[in-house]
Structure 1
């Protein structure tokens, strides 16, 4: 299980890299292909929506087929193939297609890990293991900051993506060789078939699905696209400075995942952990909104880091949801929660991109369209928390 854990974590690191790399690619894609901030956000949103759309079929594959084979084949064909398409892109459509392919390729990785943990690990260890995968895998988020900026300067963006394609295929082959499938669940073929309908009849699951949809969206969305444009347009930072700022936010998200994973051993109420993190994320977003580009850049970067840290409560959201799931629906259950989490990021990226394009972009009020983005994330969190806080513990 240890070797499998290592390679699945590396694969999740690639997933984190791909979802965050456009924040650093943004300046060069603007110059060479003409992609603006709203188109970059749309491309990131398409990655998340493609990822989310695959969660239900991935869940079925985990419950019925080989998790190892599912992860390896999809990562090689979708992730590796999409990176090749990206390297040859000549238009925004090419970037959109590449990001959709990569989103599909990355879609089974994290859920394969969670499925194996849920089946093989002690229940009290699930949150810690989930946090470790999320935290260590988020080093891919770090690689998609200053190290990527260095690669762009050294070998160019097209060569960088070809290298990533080769690494992605290598990791997929290692998963195929070194990850072990858990024992198959023995099914009672005389009993009625269980499926998505049974999951949707679990009423206590709905508040968890809602909070999953809005909790990670600010961190994933801001880190994936908006931080780069904001620091460039409002504060005039160059690519190297943006790379440094994004690496700070990436480290904050890593520390958050590692901290939230085992937190239920200290704070016994998972609901309190999730609600508290949501409230603090909302406060950070509100401060970004009201700062309107007038605060020192160091203070603003700290606020981005705060959003990244407190929006990383996903291990406890999944931990709480997992306790409601029957064994024979574990794969589809964890992927349903993940669908709402990842789908929320994609949905809000599309919404904020459209909103951003509609707000006044004159030079003297350049902070205004970004303020609308921060406000949208904050309002969504308030709505989600209003339902989640008053749900049954």
Structure 2
């Protein structure tokens, strides 16, 4: 049996989590920085909407494509190593983005940023899984997602001001230096596990392939992935690129007011997330139904805004932003669902697969919105009007429809899996108690 050398869920756990959370805050800031700089980027690099969208699409494509390899590396080398490498890559990429002046070089910098970003969130979630008690993990997971979104607030307001006062190069160059401080904190304070560990876990290729097949074949992993897919993309697309142009060009708001509304959405992530974390912990059997309800609320709010004859009233825009903001913490439910079906030594792989869901949807929706805008208005970013945005944002409904079908499908399969492989698990969930996977790492009949 592995020797436990540190307390779980106590002071050391919280210190490690705070450091990991700080890295995730920085990652969200870097990820969201183009959201308020999109119009400036279009002028700086001389690009149209499709090319502007390509910045974010490639960044998200790299992020999503690296999730499975990162999950494998995470299970082998641990969170500390991947957080350090993530910081090195993100800092270098943001520094390069500060100085480049050509479109291809800028695209490469954003792609590298996505690679560094890909290593952060799943590393922090793994730290939560191993350092906190089962009853603590759902709340801490939700807090990670909620507080991490404060990085988007820093991108929405202070970065917007810095771009006006300091200019492009100074603003992004200064942002890149924060990672150096966090590298020191991670190196000194983060430990991978409260248990004794002899070094990296070496896994043969054949065994690794079987493990990935088992994790992917598990309906709980797919339930988590489709939950993440369906809830996350609307807020991500809005915050990372298209929200600011939609509010300024489509709704006729000032840049300052648009930035403030983006902050409102991010702050609501915390408020809505606290309520959601309580509901998920109290009613674990109904987690996927909670996801379905939130998706329907987002779709209804978008419908109300898009069907307005003119610009939406401010109160309705706030409702929309809060509905999208609830989708952020709802996407964290995907990781909680996957954890119920996955042994601890495979959580990195499972979380990586779950994380692919939302970011795959985000990159596809981002690209499609840009394509629709260019098809409707070849005149460029400055020529878009509200009708153009109405048609472009309507592409979200296809993704919500697909996601809801898959969530309901894998909820049924997941419950059947638990019923067959873990008798009593469903009754445990119905009583409002978390189900702890007993640790079997075989296929479990999948």
Common fold, TM-score beyond 0.5? yes
Residues 185, 199 of structure 1: alpha-carbon distance in 2 compared, 3 angstrom cutoff = farther
Indicate the structure (1 or 2) with the bigger Cα radius of gyration: 2
* Residues 1:382 and 2:382 aligned together: no
Aligned residue runs from structure 1 range 178-189, under 5 A: 178-182=189-193, 183=195, 184=197
* Residues 1:258 and 2:274 aligned together: yes
Match of 1:371 in 2: 390
Kept in 2: contact 1:286–1:374 (CA 8 A): no
Tell me which of 4, 20, 40 is aligned to 2:52.
40
Size of the alignment, in residue pairs?
392
TM-score relative to the length of structure 1: 0.91
Quick one: distance in 1 between partners of 2:103 and 2:266? 26
Match of 2:441 in 1: none
Match of 1:226 in 2: 242
Q: Which moved more, 1:27-36 or 1:47-56?
A: 27-36
Aligned residue runs from structure 1 range 196-207, under 5 A: 196-207=212-223
Aligned residue runs from structure 1 range 156-167, under 5 A: 156-167=167-178
Quick one: distance in 2 between partners of 1:155 and 1:38? 28
Kept in 2: contact 1:42–1:350 (CA 8 A): yes
Quick one: distance in 2 between partners of 1:23 and 1:357? 18
Cα displacement (A) at 1:357? 1.7
Cα displacement (A) at 1:39? 2.9
Deviations 1:353-388 (A, max 9, x none): 222222246899822332233211122112211231
Deviations 1:44-76 (A, max 9, x none): 222211111111121111111132011112221
* Residues 1:99 and 2:99 aligned together: no
Quick one: distance in 2 between partners of 1:284 and 1:185? 52
SS in 2 for 1:195: helix
Cα displacement (A) at 1:292? 5.7
Match of 1:8 in 2: 20
Match of 1:294 in 2: 311
In structure 2, the gaps of 5 or more residues are 1-12, 416-446
Cα displacement (A) at 1:294? 3.3
Kept in 1: contact 2:63–2:115 (CA 8 A): yes
Q: RMSD of the alignment, in Å?
A: 2.5
Cα displacement (A) at 1:37? 3.8
Cα displacement (A) at 1:160? 1.0
Q: Which moved more, 1:180-189 or 1:322-331?
A: 180-189
Residues 189, 79 of structure 1: alpha-carbon distance in 2 compared, 3 angstrom cutoff = closer
Deviations 1:8-32 (A, max 9, x none): 1111111111222212112322333
Deviations 1:217-247 (A, max 9, x none): 1110011111111122123333222221211
Kept in 1: contact 2:16–2:191 (CA 8 A): yes
Cα displacement (A) at 1:200? 2.1
Quick one: distance in 2 between partners of 1:181 and 1:131? 20
* Residues 1:108 and 2:108 aligned together: no
TM-score relative to the length of structure 2: 0.81
SS in 2 for 1:122: coil
Quick one: distance in 2 between partners of 1:131 and 1:208? 14
Quick one: distance in 2 between partners of 1:134 and 1:207? 19
Quick one: distance in 2 between partners of 1:331 and 1:370? 38
Residues 356, 214 of structure 1: alpha-carbon distance in 2 compared, 3 angstrom cutoff = farther
* Residues 1:176 and 2:195 aligned together: no
Deviations 1:166-211 (A, max 9, x none): 1022212321221111134998989955421111221343343223
Match of 1:69 in 2: 81
Cα displacement (A) at 1:99? 1.2
* Residues 1:56 and 2:72 aligned together: no
Kept in 2: contact 1:257–1:312 (CA 8 A): yes
Residues 41, 292 of structure 1: alpha-carbon distance in 2 compared, 3 angstrom cutoff = farther
Kept in 1: contact 2:126–2:348 (CA 8 A): yes
